[in-house]
Amino acid sequence: MSMKNKYRVLFIDDSKIDKSYIETMLDIEALPIIAQFSPNALHALEYLADLGKDQFPQVLIIDINMPLMNGFEFVKAYEEKIYSSHPETLLFISSSTYRLSEIEKAKNLTIVTDFIGKPIQSQFFHDVVFPMVDKITV
């Protein structure tokens, strides 16, 4: 996949401020991303369960601290229900907290690609996400 194509990214975060920030950053930086937003992990699981292979996000970025179901609980449910159908999808856990214990826990989860701190910078997509997706979709 080249830069001419768009990358499908689902942001799972209950924060309206973070959503607004991401939308503004994507717009200003003109990143080749089709961004979708899910207000919580339960909504995201339902949404993802109904998607076909061609619509499924190539990247999931989930916040750790959310009501109803946190990011770690989402990863467990996603791994049990959806992951085997979409193992090529990259899963990043995101947080504005820099608690070492949470970062380590995130990085040690088998299906989690990596931890990304907030606010997410456009450079993260250029340096990490795009090259990884390109490698998978060759």
What CATH number should be reported for the domain holding residue 45? 3.40.50.2300
Residue 67 counted as domain residue: yes
Task: State the sign of the Cα–Cα–Cα–Cα dihedral 89, 95, 101, 103.
Answer: positive
pLDDT in tens, 24-78: 999 999 999 999 999 999 999 999 999 999 999 999 999 999 999 999 999 999 9
Residue 108 counted as domain residue: yes
Residue 56 counted as domain residue: yes
pLDDT in tens, 91-116: 999 999 878 898 899 989 999 999 99
Residue 1 counted as domain residue: no
Containing domain of residue 81, as a range? 7-136
Residue 124 counted as domain residue: yes
Residue 93 counted as domain residue: yes
| Total count of residues recorded for the chain | 138
pLDDT recorded at residue 1? 40
- Counting the structural domains of the chain, the total is 1
Residue 89 counted as domain residue: yes
Cα gap 112→106, rounded to integer Å:
7
